[in-house]
A and B are shown apart, each in its own frame.
Chain A
Amino acid sequence: MWLLGFLASVVIAQTFDFNKAYADYVFSLDLYQKAHAEYVLARGQYLASKTVAAQQKAIDSTKSMLGSRDTATSTYLTALRMRIRENLGLTENDKNNLYAMIDPDIVWYTDHKAKLGSAGSLDDLVKDSDEAKDYYQKTTQPNVYKVLVYNAVGKMTIFRTIDKNAIVDLNTKILEIKANGDKKTETIDRAILDAQNSLERASEKEASALSGINSTKNTARDPSSGYNTAQELLAQSLGYVKDANNILIEVVRNIKTAD
């Protein structure tokens, strides 16, 4: 029996990927939105009537909304974690540093949700909500922006690696062409250099994006500004990789065409 349980847990662990984590997040966000709609209604009724019954209803619906808000946040962070785990462009060291940012946040929201049960009044719940707001703004938001930038850099690394591998293969083919002496290769050689330069520039933009987001302090007034600057740099990096790739496609066309 214990063996079956162990196997079941292994199967569950194996099938939990980004898609599953994302589906969980979407589901919990939907539950939050429903709970929030009920909270808005109960709050309005309480502020209008101020009766004991309306107050109790407001307490219950607020508690439910805060709990589902914590769950939505922690499932969102879990989806983000799974995205990082499946990103082949990031090093294990980068991934571990990002987990070290996300994991304590997931624990924080789980603990915060467990604490909500002990709240006995609307004041207690407002205090609990403010605590979550403070943590979200000062810790979670900046962490999420960093993770998103690293995730994008990981993607760019994969793109650049494909072009770099293509250059290695093309150089081997060019050596063969030179040995055969049946085609001029000066234009091709220059184009390959141009492509390498474009990839180098792309790499520099990614490094600037990472440097910018890493130097953004968690106390920054608007943490999204550092994220947006990083995204602009990454968009430039994408442009350079596109240039390099177009050059390489043109090199292949040149090789395939007779002089």
Chain B
Amino acid sequence: MQNQIAVDIEKFKSFIKSLKERIKIALSKKQEAVPTATGAAQASTPIGANKNTRLLIIVGVVFIFAVILLIIASIVKGLRDKGVMAPGKATPVPVTGTIPDTSVSNPSKYATDEGVLKIEAALKKLDSDLNSADLRESNLRLPDLDFDVKFE
């Protein structure tokens, strides 16, 4: 990403450089016309001055557009790298089908029946609960307290 930014900055610098040269040329042409007798100069160079102004406007618009493009490009690239926006990546699709039962070698048509699987899940959960059942509730046995208080 840093390399990309460096390349973009270099492009931008060269663009600015060429822009400066163009502006310099345009200004020097204008200066050539302005210092002479004002009336004559204005009368002799109206078409050139209009051209320069139009060029400046076009250059300015292009410059602003390029800056905006550059900002958008860097933001999008940053988001892609962070994984916020990943249009190219395929999102995993959740599996909604019934998981094949491996405990039965010769399955009947009811092996994947939703109702049967639900009953099986409830029974297996109960099996686990029964095996870990603590009917004596060992954490709630009567506390060991000293009731034999004597001073003899």
Contacts and interface: CB of A to CB of B under 8 A. Distances in A.
A233 B101 CA distance: 38
A234 B113 CA distance: 35
A166 B118 CA distance: 9
A62 interface: yes
B139 interface: yes
A259 to B, nearest CB: 7
Contacts of A255: 108, 110, 116
Nearest to B146: A36
B115 A249 contact: no
Contacts of B142: 76, 141, 144
A256 B111 contact: yes
A253 B149 contact: no
Contacts of A242: 127, 130-131
B143 interface: yes
Nearest to B113: A173
Contacts of B113: 173
B104 A253 contact: yes
State the main secondary structure of chain A at its contact with B: helix
A72 B151 contact: no
Nearest to A122: B151
B104 A173 contact: no
Interface in A225-250: 231, 234-235, 238, 241-242, 245-246, 248-249
B107 interface: yes
User: Which one of B120, B129, B130 has the greatest number of beta carbons of chain A within 10 Å?
Assistant: B130
A155 B135 contact: yes
A152 interface: yes
Given A72-B143, A76-B143, A256 B104 contact: yes
B151 A257 contact: no
Given A162-B126, A173-B113, A22 B139 contact: yes
A32 B140 contact: no
A148 interface: yes
A133 interface: yes
Contact of B110 (A80, A159, A173): A173
A183 to B, nearest CB: 6
Interface string B27-51: 0000000000000000000000000
A248 B109 contact: no
B44 to A, nearest CB: 86
Given A159-B130, A256-B111, A258-B106, A79 B135 contact: no
Most B CB atoms within 10 A — which of A46, A122, A166? A166
A79, A234, A258 pick with most chain B CB within 10 angstroms: A258
Given A231-B136, A256-B116, 5 more contacts: A144-B142, A148-B136, A155-B135, A246-B127, A248-B123
29 contacts: A22-B139, A43-B151, A47-B151, A58-B151, A69-B146, A73-B143, A129-B147, A133-B148, A136-B147, A137-B147, A152-B136, A155-B135, A159-B129, A165-B122, A166-B122, A173-B110, A173-B115, A183-B110, A242-B130, A242-B131, A245-B123, A245-B126, A245-B130, A246-B127, A249-B123, A252-B119, A253-B103, A256-B101, A256-B108
Interface of A: 22, 29, 32, 36, 43, 46-47, 58, 62, 65-66, 69, 72-73, 76, 79-80, 83, 122, 125-126, 129-130, 132-133, 136-137, 141, 144, 148, 151-152, 155-156, 159, 162-163, 165-166, 169-170, 172-173, 177, 182-183, 231, 234-235, 238, 241-242, 245-246, 248-249, 252-253, 255-259
